[in-house]
Structure 1
Amino acid sequence: MAAPVTEPPPAPPALGRRGRALLLAAVAACAACGLTYELVLLTLSAGLTGGGITQTSLIVAGYVAALGAGALLVKPLLARAATVFVAVEILLGLLGGLSAVTLYVTFSYYGTDTVVLVVATAVLGALVGAEVPLLMTLLQSDRPGTDAAATGRVLADLNAADYAGALLGGLAWPFLLLPLAGQIRGAALTGVVNLVAAAVLAAVLLRPAMSRRARRGATAALLVAAALLGGLILNAGDIEASARQRLYADPVVVAQRSDYQEIVLTQRGDDVRLYLDGDLQFSSPDEYRYHEALVHPALARDPGRVLVVGGGDGLAAREVLRHPSVREVVQVELDPAVLELGRTRLSELNGDALRDRRMHVVADDAFRWLRERAARTGPATAGFDAVIVDLPDPDTPALGRLYSTEFYGLVRAAANPGGLVVVQAGSPYSTPAAYWRTVSTITSAGMAVTPYHVHVPSFGDWGFALAQVGPAPPVPELSARAPRMRYLDDAVLRAAAVFPRDRRPQQLAPSTLDHPRIVRDLRQGWSR
């Protein structure tokens, strides 16, 4: 009986100088994709769940650990390095390209994506970790018996290409892919780069080292993966819109991702709601309760010059401009996209406040703006008679710095003697530690504080902090010149300074730049 015909084992590829250059270019491309996938995971973690140093550290540490695991797991497959490398690149392109949409849809439908995030970190990290041993094997495949110095030179070339590619990926994600394509399309386009690298190497350089069966399998897999990613790129907008709508009870009328956050505006009938990174900022039927309680206690001494920090929707500015003593308002808001929304879609709700002749609107980071102002001020520099701090809840380290002792020290420096400062401080009922931490932090900056709270149906029990420089806390009151309000009056404001027995004041250590305790407080409060 004749022996079965077997296909001879593939020979190692003869690289040559040009082949090695092409392979090193592939190393750079693959490294760029590998780092981009890690940034995709970090961006989604921050955008969907608020991120945080713990989750960020787990992703980074898990990804690095998975790199090592992938390098070990691929050792038995190095004898067929060419075929395995092409397979790894196809898998990496497909799974990495689908990672963003998978995480986004999972979060939208199930409210959490922790399991998917952990699995994605492990799988993508392992595949990226398998690349370097495979590439090192390929680079040395036509140099048998090389000495230690030659091996070192090959490794130096490999590392240089790998790190250069990582730099490209690190720059491409925040400056090109994310702003121009978004998270879902950006990840898919990165996956396409992996597929192109696999296709070029398989067709040009590694073809002699792959069996006919391997080449056919790779071609079929490349076509399927390219079709899936191409369909995702074409339909990413519809997929994202459908998934996003599941996050909100009301129809989404505006959805955009700015350089700083995801901005969503919903509307059902007369109820207009603004969400930043998924957190509700206001609901039009009851926002007047929040903004009257925030603004008018700080205007009790009839200020002429007022500083508003945050509040890009223009609703706090609307209330400030209603007070007859106000001559000038400086508003510092980080996100120009929110300001544009305040000038357009929200202009009727805010009374076109952001276009008022008394308004001077600055698009800048409040911490940086206050610090630079403090550095350039002189004796003749005018301060502010009232300061209103209307910032989102500090659920990330970036926002936590705006609830720190250092920040409130800058706020104190910006206020004139006798000026009042008011800060939105979260819920004393739902997140009591975060609320009283804010009060303690303002006190640590050298201001005396009077806490107070009101009921806002959309938020529940909501708290504020009224402060002034000096040993005595200010008395919450309204100016005799205050405009007539729908909710707030003197009796309501006096009652607002009373807290029930189950929400008594807490004396807590302040939140600082070095130790942003308030971020942890807020997360723990929400988890309960």
Structure 2
Amino acid sequence: MSSSNPRLTDRRLLLALTFVVAFCSIAYELVYSELLTVFYGGTVLRYSITIGLYLFSMGVGSFLSAHLDDPAGNFLRTEVYLALAGPAGAGFMIALNAFPDVTLTVGRLALKEPLTLGLAHVPILVVGLLSGFEIPLLNELVEHREETLFAALGGLYPRRIVRGALGVFFSVSEAEGRSFSEVLGVDYLGGLAGTVVYALVLYPRYGLVVSVLVLGLLNGLAALAFAAWSARAPAARGADRSFSLARWRGVVLAGLLLTGAYGGLVANAGAVDRAVTGAYMGDRIESEYQPGKAEVTVTGFERTRYQRITTYRRDVAGDPGTETCLRLDSAIQLCESWVDSYHAGLVDVPMSASLNRSGALPGANASFDVLLVGGGDYIAVDRLRDYGVSVDQVDIDGEFLDYSREESAFARYNDDAFEYDRLNTTVGDAYNYLRGSDKRYDLILLDVPGARSDDALSLYSTEFYRLLRGHLADRGVVATWAYSEYWFPQHHKAYVETVREAGFDRYLPYSVYEDPDGDDELERGERFYLLSDGPTPTPNVSRARSDYLDAVADRYERLDWRPVPAYRGVEPNSVFDPNYDVIVDP
């Protein structure tokens, strides 16, 4: 095999291009699937529909490609179109969902959400259609069987054994040179690489915005490489594959402009990601209020492997002053106005119900073990430090833990609690941590993200709550914040049924109270549950070490344990049999 053979070089380049275009096409669809999940929820549904539409539109493109002539020119045009359409499709989805939630009504039909959802799938069809053109066009360009890298690999596997195995099920013969099967094989390999690299490198490191720009850059480079090859080596293709660079000068210029633009944006990936995502998050947060009600300014944006961290200042009309807030992905985690009340509910109320063996609140020398799941801002740890308890903390996002240690917005609330000498922090998945541990805890606190996507299903499953129950000491209790049963009734029913199926037979619901509008009237805020499977003391907030609870102690005089209710016709959420009603739509 000699690399001086022009057709050999041609085929290598064309097969490399096949790999790149397949890589980009499938990765575009993964970006679109994730965007649809962010905007509309339902990970399984969004990915399933996206892949189905993609394959369908690829089939349509492949069918229509029979009407395309001039394979070289049309392949170049297709790559430039994809370089434009792929990133533009992502931008279209973001812009479509940045509009205020105003419902368009025609007759009795409310159109806003169905209309935007339908339009959001158009980029899937466009990219799929263009991708369907690629393989037939490339197959016409790679029409001669030569000694290529793929052909050379044929000598590396035991052909006789493979033919024998295939012969059990199929009629077989000696392998012949078929350019279509070779192109298709490289296409499938590129698709595999696209899914793996996107999942392990592009999305966790760069996020959706920069990832789609990287893909556009690769499509642009593929178009330019093909144009350069076509201009330099017309003889290698034969007279019937002539290519006039002058004829396609406009397309090549467009490819150059797109590639240059994407290259500049990717070179400044961090700034681009912060600018686009920060602006989008600011608009989305403002849209949660009535028009003109709130002014939001994003002050910081970081991305970890597991989530987006957005800090922002908000000024809500009628509320006293401006405050800093934190969001993880799209879910709000804390604001200055209620950070104290939230952590009093999460930590101080359950601590007031907890007794050590002597019947007193735990002290510095007491044996009292707490498991904190999540709590990466270390604010709950600071509260627990006041009680002198031992804390095992498990949080999957080590980058967020590092961020919290350095971010000044948290410093005034966690008081460097990460240096607490009775704290043991483990970076890892809580589900796996509990499966690998036999330790029992007097109190388990769940300071975890809400059930906003399929990624959180395991933390709201019967299997996870069984693990929690199995790690409780005698008279131990689980404390967690909860969505309101009035605002999210379907989630509430599925969650409660899950908890009951896991073996918890008693729960104690309570809320914290705030004065959000400064009128000296307390209003119900965050909701919490205590969970138990046996006799457990009722909270006595006068014993808690919390100035906030001292001020509102009268609100907690009638707390009482109740049987966990059962809802007819509602299934629990299980890892292996999920109930998607437990997910709260974004």
> Scaled by the length of structure 1, what TM-score is found?
0.84
Q: 1:336 aligns with which of 398, 412, 418?
A: 398
Please name the residue that 2:251 is paired with: 218
Partner of 2:178: 153
Residue 212 of structure 2 corresponds to 187
* Distance of 1:97 and 1:149 partners within structure 2: 44
Partner in structure 1 of residue 272 of structure 2: 236
Instruction: Work out whether residues 348 and 546 of structure 2, in 8 Å CA contact, stay in contact via their aligned partners in 1.
Output: no
Give the match for residue 157 of structure 2. none
Query: Which amino acid counterpart does residue 361 of structure 1 have in structure 2?
Result: T
Contact 2:354/2:537 (<8 A) preserved: no
| Shift in alpha-carbon separation, 1:453–1:435, aligned structure 2, 3 A | farther
Deviations 1:156-215 (A, max 9, x none): 311221122223322332333334444222211221211221222222147552245533
Matched, 1:54 2:45: yes
8 Å Cα contact 1:390-1:423 kept in structure 2: yes
Q: For 1:428 and 1:444, how far apart are their aligned partners in 2?
A: 18
CA–CA distance in 2 between the matches of 1:51 and 1:439? 20
Specify which of 470, 476, 479 is matched with residue 422 of structure 1.
Answer: 479
1:169 paired residue number: 194
Give the direction of change, closer, same or farther, for the CA distance of 1:66–1:460 in structure 2 (3 Å limit): farther
1:9 aligned partner: none
1:71, 1:129 within 8 Å by CA — same for their partners in 2? yes
Q: 1:416: how far off?
A: 0.8
Mapping of 1:3-152 within 5 angstroms? 16-77=7-68, 79-110=69-100, 114-140=117-143
Q: What CA distance in whole angstroms lies between the structure 2 residues aligned with 1:91 and 1:110?
A: 30
**Structure 1 spans left out of the alignment, 5+ residues:** 1-13
Is the partner of 1:108 in helix, strand or coil?
A: coil
417-426 or 222-231: bigger deviation: 222-231
After superposition, where does 1:354-369 map in structure 2 within 5 Å?
Answer: 354-369=418-433
Q: Quote the offset at 1:369 in angstroms.
A: 0.9
Task: Verify: 1:245 aligned to 2:245, yes or no.
Answer: no
CA distance in 2, matches of 1:76, 1:160: 24
Q: Answer yes or no: is the 8 Å Cα contact 2:65–2:133 preserved in 1.
A: yes
Larger mean Cα displacement after TM superposition, 206-215 or 333-342: 206-215
Q: Is the 8 A contact 2:83 2:216 kept in 1?
A: yes
Partners of 2:193 and 2:498 lie apart in 1 by 41
- Counterpart for residue 482 of structure 1: 544
Distance of 1:205 and 1:15 partners within structure 2: 12
Aligned-pair CA distance for 1:392: 1.5
Distance 1:441 1:220 in 2: 59
484-493 vs 454-463, which deviates more? Answer: 454-463
Contact 1:477 1:494 in 2 (8 A): no
User: CA 1:494/1:441 → structure 2, altered by over 3 Å: closer, same or farther?
Assistant: farther
AA in 1 matched with 2:581: R
Q: By how many angstroms is 1:395 displaced?
A: 1.9
The residue number in structure 2 matching 1:265 is 311
Distance 1:240 1:283, change over 3 A: closer
Q: 1:400 corresponds to which letter in structure 2?
A: L
1:318 paired to 2:370: no
Structure 1's 491 and 212: CA in aligned 2 closer, same or farther, altered over 3 A?
A: closer
Which has the larger displacement, 350-359 or 400-409?
Answer: 350-359
Output the amino acid matched with 1:36: A
The answer to whether the aligner puts 1:492 opposite 2:528 as a matched pair is no
Post-superposition offset of 1:123: 0.5
The CA distance in 2 between the partners of 1:392 and 1:158, in whole Å, is 45
Query: Once the 2 structures are TM-superposed, how far is the Cα of residue 50 of structure 1 from its aligned partner?
Result: 4.0
Aligned mates of 2:253, 2:35 — CA distance in 1: 31
SS in 2 for 1:307: strand
RMSD: 3.0
The worse-fitting range, judged by mean Cα deviation, of 293-302 and 195-204 is 293-302
- For residues 107 and 498 of structure 1, the distance between their equivalents in structure 2, rounded to whole angstroms, comes to 43
CA contact (8 A) 1:298 1:387 kept: no
Report the CA distance between 1:506 and its aligned residue. Answer: 4.5
Deviation string for 1:124-160 (max 9, x for gaps)? Answer: 11111211111112222799xxxx9887632231122
Pairwise CA distance, 1:297: 3.6
Q: Distance in 1 between matches of 2:538 and 2:56?
A: 55
1:463, 1:369 → 2: CA distance? 27
Give the percent of matched residue pairs that are identical in Structure 1 and Structure 2.
Answer: 26
CA contact (8 A) 1:439 1:449 kept: no
Distance in 1 between the 2:559 and 2:81 partners? 59
Q: Aligned to 1:416, what secondary structure does the other structure show?
A: strand
In structure 2, do the counterparts of structure 1 residues 505 and 172 end up closer, same or farther at CA, with 3 Å as the change threshold? closer
Q: Determine the structure 1 residue equivalent to 2:348.
A: 296
User: Compared with structure 1, are the counterparts of its residues 48 and 277 closer, same or farther at alpha carbon in structure 2 (3 Å cutoff)?
Assistant: farther
| Separation (CA, whole Å) in 1 of partners of 2:80 and 2:208 | 20
| Conservation of the 8 A alpha-carbon contact between 2:498 and 2:573 | yes
2-side partners of 1:192 and 1:293: how far apart?
A: 49
Partner Cα distance (1:71, 1:298) in 2:
62
Tell me which residue corresponds to 1:520: 581
Number of residue pairs aligned between Structure 1 and Structure 2: 491
1:126 is aligned with what amino acid? L
The within-5 A match list for 1:355-394 is 355-373=419-437, 377=438, 382-394=439-451
- Following TM superposition, by how much is the alpha carbon of 1:65 offset from its aligned partner in structure 2, in angstroms? 1.4
Q: Are the counterparts in 1 of residues 495 and 582 from structure 2 also a CA contact under 8 Å?
A: no
Q: Which runs of 5+ in 2 are unaligned?
A: 102-112, 147-172, 235-240, 286-294, 315-320, 357-367, 517-522
Q: Would you say 1:274 and 2:345 are equivalent positions?
A: no
Flag the 1:316–1:138 CA change in 2: closer, same or farther, 3 A. Answer: same
Q: Secondary structure in 1 aligned to 2:575?
A: coil
Residue type of the alignment partner of 2:466? G
Structure 1 residues 203 and 32: alpha-carbon distance in aligned structure 2, compared to 1, 3 A threshold: same
